[in-house]
Structure 1
Amino acid sequence: MSGPRVLWLARAMPLPLDAGDRMYTGFLAQALAESGAHVCFVGLPSPDAPDANPQDYLSSLEFRIVPGKPASQYRALASSLPLVAGRFGTGEYKRVLISLLEEQWDAIVLDQYALIWALPILRTRAGKRPPVIHVAHDFETQVTRDLAAAYRGNRLRKAVLALNARRTARAERALAEACEAVVTLTAEDADAFRSIGAGGDLAVIPPGYNGTRVGARGIDRDTPRRVAIVGSYQWIVKQHNLRAFLDVADALLDRAGIELAIVGGAPDDFRRKLEASCKASRFLGYVDDLPAFLQACRMGLVIEAVGGGFKLKVLDYVMTRTPVAGLESALAGQASEVVRHCLKAPNSAALCDEIIAAIDDFDRLNAMQEAAFEAASRQYDWAENGKRLLSLIRSLS
């Protein structure tokens, strides 16, 4: 039996594969193709790697790169859609989609709520429409609402965030009601989509892991008194979370003699402003060998107070045998078998207390990393995820 033909609509090419949303998109689409589907992946060039050839990184996919760049924030603001949808739903992308719909497809994937702009085009398609699957990276209704409520900066920007939250809530409700299935990364997000009207199938497909797995490790007094935060800080939500944590944690960790390494890309002006006010924190940008760097850290931190969902950095920490410490809200989407071996606290100050208390307790740190690694090694398989998504598509066709 030949595999189904799947049209996968994303904002842009998922490159570089260094951020959680891009990794989930790229590796899940690739896993689906390797499970037997023909996947045509569509999107604008990556704003962060416009000249990169996605075939070099995700060779099992067919790519259709939409010419052009995202629209400006100002143009997006003038639309009635969430800002990300207004930016990436360009006129050229719409023309490409209309042309692609002349072909026969067994399923269409709308990757992330930014693809809400495609729904009206799909509704006007002549003949029987193939089933539509929404891949939801997060429950953005809550993420955008929480960000708007927590933001304490410029009043105009706060008003824009509140407007965007309302638009996002309408978009996710429309996607939930219109799509034959919704894929989420966590059971909590699946429940949230059911609560806003998802009437089709709901499938929970957490990320897989195909990075480095460290076979053995021992943390001792020769390991630097360093903790790390790994992430990508291009998105306003990520910037808000990091800034809010450092406002509390930097001074506390500095007094305890603990270095905080911040790994990942960030806009220069954002980084410079934080560096000017921080003592314990060092902004390293991207590191050449993340697993090797984490071997020189005593813990990896998960500090996102705003924004639920699965945090792929947890897998980077656990599989490199780096003990995990995080906010309870930030760890809520992880597997309970893993979370029970992490340090947890309700807020940033309490989390720092936990870190300081455990930083020199080598028996505890090694017990944490060994137990978390063992628990996670039984889960998070991209190949299995591809098979589950293929099964879902076949059940809808």
Structure 2
Amino acid sequence: MNVEVRVTDSSKGKGLYAKCKILKESLIFEEDPLVSCQFSWNSAYRYLACDHCLRPLETAQENASRLSGHPIDLPYPECCTTDKSKFTKCSTCFTQYCSEECKTQALEQYHSIICLQTQDKNSAHPLEQLNEAWKQVHYPPETNSIFLIVRLLARILKAPNKEIAIAQTLQFCHRTVNEDADLAHKLLGDKFADQLSLLHNKFIAVVPHEGIEQFLSYEGFLSLLALIGTNGQGVGTSAISEWARNAESLLLSDDDKKVLDSFIDHLYQQMDENVGEFLNNEGVALYSLQSTCNHSCSPNAEPKFLHNNHRLSLVATQDIEEGEEIFISYLDECFLNRSRHSRMKELMRNYLFVCQCPKCESEADQEDVTSEEEEDMSE
């Protein structure tokens, strides 16, 4: 690989560094997650995705018709990459997968531990109780899922070497008990923080205990919530977006290109009017290598999902020299464009560190006001 993990100073612990020069827009690395899962409300709203890799389980035409609220006849159907002939299900619980490969990987890695031992997903099952409890404390827009923890622990139970699997999990945990508790409360928000004990009780009813006792105490549960809160990477997939990208790359005449562009613009307008910004199958995943990337408000790399599933591709957003540290942003683009004070407040609230990146250092003399206050002052 053209990158390596190095131990850095005590404040960051470790970081990812380039072993050779990496050019802008080039692929730095790709990796599949330790575990991933779809958001609970996203699934409840019929965003159909493979239960293992989040690949869409709709054709682009089905996806466009559902999101727009009426039948859509897509041109260039060959640009749709959904292959329904490969779809399959778990024979016990009927969980859906995009392929036999995904079903096999899920069964081998975690699914056989948590598979519903009935052909009916009834509300009395501990998994369904946990799902409903989580949905009531984590409304859209969703940022995480308690089932990432469930799959992470099931993965340990299924691992040939539990010690190695536990060590892989603990690589994400490096905070104090008090910091874990603070982050767990932040994950739910003040309105639902008092539901942590209820979630813990439903959580421990889901997976077997033998061999993972250290994670099942209340403190261990808070640590796992802090783990996914600080390391979970959002994943988005879309049948219609994949179709649009493929269609736009076709070699068409200028007139046909204009017709296609107009069709796509109108389609996205219709979908926006019907469902707003919620166009994608959305979920969250834990990545071993990507999690070693530190934050910068002026990052030189960006995670992307080029395969329309949970495989992460880290792409350089500028030239990176040999020996240079690779940074991503923990903040979305909206927050990156806010004031230094707003960015630092958000990073401290969600990740418990003070940013010392070049952008923040260069803006150190700015007044300590939030972006909202700046907007009020300018009116």
Query: Fold-level match, TM-score > 0.5?
Result: no
Q: Structure 1 length normalisation: TM-score? A: 0.26
Greater RCO structure (CA 8 Å; 6+ sep):
2
